[in-house]
Chain A
Amino acid sequence: MKNILFIFLFVFLWEAGLTAQSIDPALLSIKQRMDSIASFSTNLKLEVDISFINMPVKTARMSYKKGEAIKFSSNDFVLIPKRGLDFSLNGIFEYSFITVDRGMEKRNGQLLKVINIIPTDKRADFSIATLLLDTKNRRVMESEINTKKDGTYILLMHYADQYNALPDRVEVNFEIEKLKIPINFMGKDTDIDRKKLRTAGTKTGKIFLTMSNYQLVFIK
């Protein structure tokens, strides 16, 4: 009986110790803060900076409800980046992972904690992510996500003041393939041969997201 109790205790403590070591407490603290948000909505301004795309500044309305996907609405046609708006960090926490502490790094005079997130579940859509955390104000300042299919995303978050949980401005840097279409789009000949399409290397693009008029509801 003693032996069984000893083994049970050993396994429990080992598991608990491993878990505590695997996920950085600063990240858990930020996640906890984000989880305290029941819902929010905000006006979104989108500015696209891609060398081969000309697009006027667009506006949309973004709304989030805990446990649901983010919703967007706009009168215009808008491009919503696949990464950069997951403020709840649900995308990262969807599948199991471990974190590795990479020490501290200085950004704009601010000391930030650097951690690596390595998924331990094959279903995760990223292979590694690097997060720069503002441990004092419990928020993510920068992240680099290496996805399995969609290249690398670098997200830079700017906050209006030190208390805000949600950013007011996000810069999303991503990789994008330049599309080369063999003819001017429907010039006179309307046939476009897909086989002739060639990509001319990978380019980087940016999209600047500016949020305003946040309406936040916290869990009581």
Chain B
Amino acid sequence: MKSLIRAEILKLLKQGKTYYALGSLFLIEAVILFSAYYQGSNIIDLLLENLKKSFYFEGTLLNGNLLVYLILNTLWFHLPLILMIVVSGTLTAEYKDRTIQTIMLQPVRKWKFMLSKYIVAILFTILVVLLLAVTAFGCSYAIFGKGDLIVYLNTLNFFTAKEAAYRLQWAFVAGGLSMIFFSVASLTIAVIFKEATKTWIVAAFFLIFSNILLKVDFGNNWFNQLFFAKLNDTWQYFFYYEIVWGMIYQNMALLFIYIALFMGIGIYLFHKKDIG
């Protein structure tokens, strides 16, 4: 199993599209960072509009913490899209180049082969999220400094710089889990469709569909709480004034179950299907 994982890592690192994906992600992050800076002052103006009448403001809210928060808001759509292309590509490329047939001629169990792909997809996703978090914090703090964070979630919530950094770090963890879910889902889609273009279209559709459903309010019922699309904004729970840990644990546990379910389905289908 270890050698399979090692081989998968090697394949991922050898393929050119991995680096194109990483490069485009950092480019997107830089663009978001600067657009967020210009957008930030507008948003602060809007949020503080009714307070201007009664208060003077001392200090600035347009700082690194606000920019990381803005990056998080935008990143959770672009990041899974690119991750899904790279991750699903690790399998579709094997079908296209027929290397999968060569591998299957070796004494390799199909489920182990597929499991190693999932494990490498998860490790790659974690690495990318970690790199993005480090660069987001690093660039934002270096250029715009630290400071209090303002967030509007039904109420205007202010967090001290220290508290904001703590919550933003946790938001990356929760968001990272959602990214793992999308990576795993894309690999399962690749198992079903085999061909790269079809897989990408379906994966992109899956992501867009999830994002649309995330915004639809299904009312206060079990479906609204358990449906996978509804779990992908768990990171926002860290910006309620009192962190709703119970809900976060529940959502993260559910996401783990969905990840395991999609992996299980992928491995099962791969095991059942003929290679060719």
Contact = CB atoms under 8 A, between A and B. Distances in A.
B56 A82 contact: yes
Interface stretch (B69-77, B86-94, B109-117): B69-77
Contacts of A188: 73, 76-77, 211, 214-215, 233
Interface stretch (A22-30, A33-41, A128-136, A172-180): A172-180
A77 interface: yes
Contacts of A60: 58
Contacts of A20: none
Nearest to A78: B58
A179 B69 CA distance: 21
A181 B45 CA distance: 13
Contacts of A149: 53
Interface string B118-159: 000000000000000000000000000001101111111111
Interface in A122-158: 149-151
Given A74-B59, A176-B54, A185-B47, A55 B214 contact: no
Contacts of A77: 57-61, 147-148, 150, 158
A80 interface: yes
B73 A190 contact: yes
A192 B59 contact: no
Contact of A176 (B53, B151, B154): B53
Interface in A26-81: 52-56, 60, 72-81
Given A76-B148, A186-B73, A81 B55 contact: yes
Nearest to B36: A190
Nearest to B55: A79
B153 A79 contact: no
B158 A54 contact: yes
B221 interface: no
A199 interface: yes
Contacts, number: 113
Contact of B74 (A75, A190, A199): A190
B49 interface: yes
A187 interface: yes
A162 B65 CA distance: 45
A184 interface: yes
A79 B211 contact: no
A85 B241 CA distance: 29
Contacts of B156: 52-55, 179
Nearest to B158: A55
Contact of B56 (A52, A80, A176, A181): A80
Given A52-B156, A184-B152, A185-B43, A177 B57 contact: no
A84 B141 CA distance: 35
B50 A53 contact: no
A53 to B, nearest CB: 5
A178 B152 contact: no
A106 interface: no
B59 A78 contact: yes
Interface of A: 52-56, 60, 72-82, 149-151, 174-179, 181, 184-188, 190, 192, 194, 197, 199, 205
22 contacts: A53-B155, A54-B158, A55-B156, A55-B157, A60-B58, A72-B56, A74-B59, A76-B148, A76-B160, A77-B59, A77-B150, A80-B57, A81-B55, A82-B54, A82-B55, A150-B54, A176-B51, A179-B49, A188-B214, A188-B215, A190-B73, A194-B46
Given A60-B58, A78-B58, A82-B54, 15 more contacts: A56-B159, A56-B163, A76-B148, A77-B57, A77-B60, A77-B61, A80-B55, A151-B53, A176-B50, A177-B50, A178-B50, A185-B152, A186-B73, A192-B43, A192-B46
